[in-house]
Amino acid sequence: MLMPNSAVPKANALADQVRAFFTDAGISARTFNYDFENPGITPNLEGIELLIVIGGDGSLLRAGHFCAPLGIPLLGIRSGRLGFLVELNESDLEQKLEKLLKAEFRLERRMMLKTELFSHDTLKHSWDVINEAVICRGNDVHPIEVRVDLNEGYLNSYIADGVIVSTATGSTGYALAASGPILPPELRNMLILPIAPHLSLDRAVVLAEGAEVNLFPTIKHDVVISIDGMDPVLLAEGDRVHIRANQHSLYMVRFGEPNYFYRNLAAVMQRNPILENGKP
């Protein structure tokens, strides 16, 4: 299935190009135009062997939430500004699609997180997480207090704008913007990182896959939780956020060698997408 970001005209044009390529090869591919910024109808992925997303990293993240629980591999084609996660560009599109038809690719397994919100030990929400779970301040411009416990007990209490709990995939997202370390995507680790900490531990903490994290926010002002950049949920006194490794993984189609990540890292880091588009 092809899933272009319907809000991006370039994505729709690329979807037509890819569908024509598959048609010429005698392969049926249907298109589901999805508005990733205003989600509504959930795509029917029954019988789908591969989901091809056309957009930026944000589009790929949203699509990953659909396909990961079903074990459907994901391939990204860049039509947006950021490309840490997307695999293909216009310049190598048909060449890589030829490799796809010849099965000359590998599946990269990405660790996900399971995040649960409890209110006085009653489960309120549950999310699958590809990038990160963030507890942060809401409308009020005040630091928040968050206590972090691990399996072994108390870790730290943060006074900060927020706390990020990230996967290795998410280490190139919000965690990177908050000066966190970059983790290779194949690592199955959890990263804890404060945002603008004040009189608190300001170093990132890397945890093993088997770790479990409980976060206890102190509610003096608005405090919210956001999953993978989606709409925030307001937290209340007595809420607890529990995070652990997810039973599901995200499988991504890759054509390069396993060390592609390090080769591409510097190029992506040095390219400012806003300047590329000619905007100040």
Per-residue model confidence (pLDDT) at position 194: 96
Per-residue model confidence (pLDDT) at position 91: 83
Annotation marks residue 57 as catalytic = yes
Per-residue model confidence (pLDDT) at position 264: 66
Fold of 2-105+255-276: Rossmann fold (3.40.50)
CB 67 within 8 A of CB 49: no
H-helix or E-strand containing 174? helix 174-177
Per-residue model confidence (pLDDT) at position 115: 98
Considering the candidates 16, 24, 35, 57, report the single residue annotated as catalytic: 57
Give the strand pairing for 51-55 and 2-4: parallel
The pLDDT profile of the chain, 280 residues, written as one tens digit per residue, is: 999 988 888 899 999 999 999 999 999 888 988 887 777 778 889 889 999 999 888 889 999 999 999 999 999 998 866 667 888 888 889 999 999 999 999 999 999 999 999 999 899 999 999 999 999 999 888 999 999 999 889 999 999 999 999 999 999 889 999 999 999 888 999 999 999 998 878 889 999 889 999 999 999 989 999 999 999 999 999 999 999 999 999 999 999 776 667 666 666 666 655 545 544 4
Which residue in 191, 203, 195, 185 sits closest to 143, CA to CA? Answer: 195
Per-residue model confidence (pLDDT) at position 217: 96
Locate the domains of the chain by residue range: 2-105+255-276, 113-247
User: Residue 84: helix, strand or coil by DSSP?
Assistant: coil
C-alpha span between 206 and 188 (Å, rounded): 10
Per-residue model confidence (pLDDT) at position 79: 84
Q: Spell out the residues 6+ positions from residue 44 whose beta carbon is closer than 8 angstroms to its own.
A: none
C-alpha span between 49 and 29 (Å, rounded): 10
Fold of 113-247: Tumour Suppressor Smad4 (2.60.200)
Count of alpha carbons within 13 angstroms of residue 21, beta-carbon side = 16
Which residue in 11, 24, 1 sits closest to 58, CA to CA? Answer: 11
C-alpha span between 177 and 223 (Å, rounded): 20
H helices present in 25-145, as ranges: 57-67, 93-101
Structure tokens at 2: 């092809």
Q: Letter for the amino acid at 124?
A: K
Q: Spell out the residues 6+ positions from residue 102 whose beta carbon is closer than 8 angstroms to its own.
A: none
Total Cβ atoms within 10 A of residue 239: 21
Per-residue model confidence (pLDDT) at position 270: 65
Per-residue model confidence (pLDDT) at position 90: 84
